């Protein structure tokens, strides 16, 4: 059963400009390992986190650093969840999260499907 679907699109240059203009923003959005990634990857991960929040009903109180995008040996993205995000997943009865991230023409996009 599908519990929720989320999608988000991020303009990479605009996102990087926002990170540059707001020095502490990266700390609120990304764990240290994520912060070392190139701009395209950061924008993709932000799109993924936004899409995840939407798939979970966009509740107040989710912490961005409680959802970390990781990749397996072949590059398939998935999640490491903690704290507020894991609690929401448990509350909704989500058993599986599907994630797709794409980049093209200066745009990063992500889709998340939450399945129960």
SS3 109: strand
Q: What is the pLDDT of residue 59?
A: 87
- Is pTM, for the whole model, over 0.75? yes
pLDDT at 115 over 90: yes
For 6, half-sphere exposure in the C-beta direction (CA atoms, 13 angstrom radius) is 24
pLDDT tens digits for range 35-50? 999 999 999 999 999 9
Counting the structural domains of the chain, the total is 1
Residue 23 has pLDDT above 90, yes or no: no
Average pLDDT, the chain: 96
pLDDT at 81: 98
Report whether pLDDT(99) > 90.
yes
Question: Which domain covers residue 15, as residue numbers?
Answer: 2-115
Alpha-carbon distances, residue 33 vs 41, 63, 65, 79, 108 (angstroms): 12, 16, 11, 14, 19
Average pLDDT over residues 15-26: 95
pLDDT value for 64: 95
pLDDT at 69 over 90: yes
CATH of the domain at 93: 3.90.470.20
- What is the percent of the chain with per-residue pLDDT over 70, rounded to a whole number? 100
Query: Tell me, what's the pLDDT at 41?
Result: 95
């Amino acid at each position: 059963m599908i519990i929720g679907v989320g999608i988000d699109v991020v303009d990479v240059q605009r996102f990087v400009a926002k990170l540059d203009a707001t020095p502490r923003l990266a700390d609120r959005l990304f764990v240290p390992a994520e912060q070392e990634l190139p701009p395209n990857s950061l924008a993709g991960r932000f799109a993924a986190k936004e899409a995840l929040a939407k798939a979970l009903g966009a509740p107040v109180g989710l912490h961005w650093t409680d959802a970390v995008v990781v990749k397996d040996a072949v590059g398939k993205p998935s999640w490491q969840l903690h704290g507020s995000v894991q609690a929401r997943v448990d509350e909704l009865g989500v058993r599986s999260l599907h994630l797709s991230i794409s980049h093209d023409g200066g745009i990063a996009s992500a889709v998340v499907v939450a399945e129960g």
